[in-house]
Chain A
Amino acid sequence: MSGPEPGLGRRSWRRHGGGPVGGALHAEWTKLRTVPSTGWLVLGIVALTVGLGLAMTGTLSRDGCESPCLEDTVRLSLFGVRLSQAAVVVLAVLAVGNEYATGMVHTSVMALPRRAWALAGKFAVVAVTVLVAATVAVGVSLLVGRWVLPGRGFTAANGHPPLSLADEPTRRAAIGTVLYLVLIGLLSAGVAVLVRDTAGAITGVLVLLYVAPLVATLVSNARWERWLHRYTPMDAGLAVQVTRHLHPSDIGPWAGLGVLAVYAAVAVVAALVVFEVRDA
């Protein structure tokens, strides 16, 4: 634990006039913005969400659907986050991991000796960046769904009014999906600090996210299956996208997102503590 060097820190706050947090935020924003991959990843988040959503709704057919057909069109329109969350993971891990890989972290810690603040600033910047990208991605996906679905036979006449944020479950799914991506970003950033290794963090988070749902599809023991759906980050978190067929045994939409929030909070708090006490 290095002792605080108020002089250095204070000067950097003064320059940006935002107090300790403002300075850290500004510094972190500069760092994230100037990594060349960030722009591509933000673009990727939007493109993958919208692209896969279009692929899902575009190939949807009413033939396979019993009548009354209660396909969850909102969830399908927002299906792309299952893919684009990988880009969020990479963005968040790189925001942290690159500093370790290049040794930049030593400079950062020297410039801002109140390490937890610096790291909190980094998390905030990652969260806001993902928030903006996710909002655009979700918005466009829903617009695309609204435009494509009637052509696939899902019209108001047969119980599928055009997707609209005025509809409460749809709004919940939209807001929840944006928050889902933000939480995935925070979880990944936290893990990256804990692991201090880009490749390890990415592999670890992707395995955590993707393997559990696949295990759940294979497991035929109902108790296990329910446990996996309720308490693994991806399945629980994406429960917020469900607008139809809310099954009583499934976890509720906000409760599911809460499970993911617990994962993210544990990772973030652990990262803040570890970052404070550990050598960079």
Chain B
Amino acid sequence: MRGDGFGATLRAEWTKLRTVRRWVLTLLCSGMLIVVIGLLVSSSSGTDANQYQNFAVGPDGQPVVDDFQFAHQTMSGDGTITARVGKLEDSGTDASAGLIVKDGLTSGSRYVALRVTPKDGVHLESDYVTDIRGGDRTAPVWLRLTRQGPVITGYASADGSNWTKVGQVTAARLPRDVEVGMFVNSAPKVIVKRSAGNTAVTEQGTLSTATFDNVRLDAAAAGAWEDDPVHRPMDRPKDTSGESGSAGPPLPEMKAAGVVERDGMFTITGGGQIKPNPPDDDVVSIALFGVLPGLMALAAVGVLFVTSEYRKGMIRATFAANPRRGRTLAAKAIVIGSAAFVMTLLGGGVALLAAQPVLQEQGFAPPAYPEYSLTDPPVLRALLLTSLFVAILTVFAMALGTVLRHSATAITTVVVLIVVPVILSSILPLSVGRWVMQLTPAGGLATWRAKPPTTTLADPWSMIGPAAGLTVVSVYAAVTLAVAWWLVRRRDA
């Protein structure tokens, strides 16, 4: 083998891995564990999000929130609305005021809106998907929305004479007759309380007030302004976990939502938001839950891949054959890491495919939970990053086995470092829990979520993002590998 270089070392380590029957079986078992436990958890999960909708259904069937106070009239065909937003109260959450063209007054219908915010500049948005940011202007500001054929263009101006184009969108599916006007809203305040493992999320409605003057509508027929709230119909008893948006009770000292017109100046008070509103819990992480027991089996193989060589004295032959011990360590890391990656990728892929129909049957169905496919970028990302996380964790286990040279301690340490932080951070206060996830390899579990992080769930893996999770587990692996590398070169085999 002398002189054959790294390729030969790699091949030697691969041969060792594949010829120990118990390890190969464990590797295969881990793949099966990922699928079986994933299916088991999927079939025992359930949701009533579609029976008790706390969202409006958007134009493409997706869950959205679409609440605001609306001073409006009907516009037929082309036209332009111009107004100056004089004052916009910062409600502390996300407030906005602006102009909107909308398909009727139903919450969830198509729209194009040009809005100004207290802190986040001017935005041109359409149909809950498109969002064009146009500069840092804030009130007072002039806004203009022009419809010409299928194209709707938004402009902003400081003085009402020099206009800057914010952007334009093609709204071909907006009907000829639309409601046009001014709107104000303010996002509800989300209060998360957590004690002894229970997470209670309440939403408290907030209101914001804005003034509009120099209002001008250039259209075929301009009529009188009407005042209506747009919000999701309240067709069910309020649940205890709180309501969202304009439905929430106004704060005691606050004015009520509505529109007041005096001498051409409109003062509009409203609450709510216009944006996509998918539920926070993530079906992808449910389908991939089997990765948790699976990675324990993989980590055990990772540890044994080294410790059994020490135990059986094989390590002396290995180091005699290849005196460059660092290379052997690197080869082991690559072989076991790749094996773990492939097993998780296969197991996770099968689990995701097999769990989809099961999850739908349990209520995770459209509109609240659109059907996913393996080729959706967030799902594919979750699968790949989860596989990468398990691979890095297995390398960490291998390195820890090298450092400790003791299977039992190394395996237990890895398992405990994954499981105990999860148990802890689901009970500890939110900020402490997030730190626990950010400082232990358990944080890597964040990779199996396809949705962005949130604070509203009890699941600890939803507290941080996948990048933070992968970083922490990589640091553990890198440091342990470095120590292992230093130790194998220094100490007797």
Residues of A bordering B, CB below 8 Å: 37, 52, 55-56, 59, 61, 64-66, 71-72, 76, 79, 82-83, 86-87, 89-90, 93-94, 97, 101, 198-200, 202-203, 206-207, 210-211, 213-215, 217-221, 224-225
Contacts and interface: CB of A to CB of B under 8 A. Distances in A.
Interface in B417-449: 419-420, 422-424, 426-429, 432
Nearest to A206: B415
A215 B420 contact: no
B416 interface: yes
Interface string B20-49: 000000000000000001001100111100
A198 to B, nearest CB: 5
A218 B45 contact: yes
B407 A217 contact: no
A136 B337 CA distance: 41
Contact of B41 (A64, A90, A210, A219): A219
Most buried by A among B297, B311, B412, B428: B412
Report, nearest first, the 3 A-B pairs whose CB atoms are least far apart: A224-B44, A210-B419, A203-B300
A154 to B, nearest CB: 13
Contacts of B429: 59, 61, 64
24 contacts: A52-B424, A56-B427, A66-B195, A71-B196, A82-B420, A86-B412, A86-B420, A89-B412, A90-B409, A93-B408, A198-B407, A199-B307, A200-B300, A202-B411, A203-B297, A203-B415, A206-B296, A206-B416, A207-B415, A211-B292, A214-B423, A217-B459, A218-B286, A221-B45
B411 A64 contact: no
Grouping DSSP codes into helix (H, G, I), strand (E, B) and loop, the A interface class, with mixed when no group exceeds half, is helix
B304 interface: yes
Most buried by B among A59, A76, A211: A211
Contacts, number: 109
Contacts of A199: 300, 303-304, 307, 407-408, 411
A86 B416 CA distance: 7
Nearest to B48: A220
Given A37-B408, A221-B45, 17 more contacts: A56-B427, A71-B196, A76-B196, A89-B412, A93-B408, A94-B408, A202-B411, A203-B296, A203-B411, A206-B419, A207-B297, A214-B423, A217-B197, A217-B459, A221-B46, A224-B44, A225-B44
Contacts of B307: 199
A38 to B, nearest CB: 12
Contacts of A72: 196
B238 interface: no
Contacts of B300: 199-200, 202-203
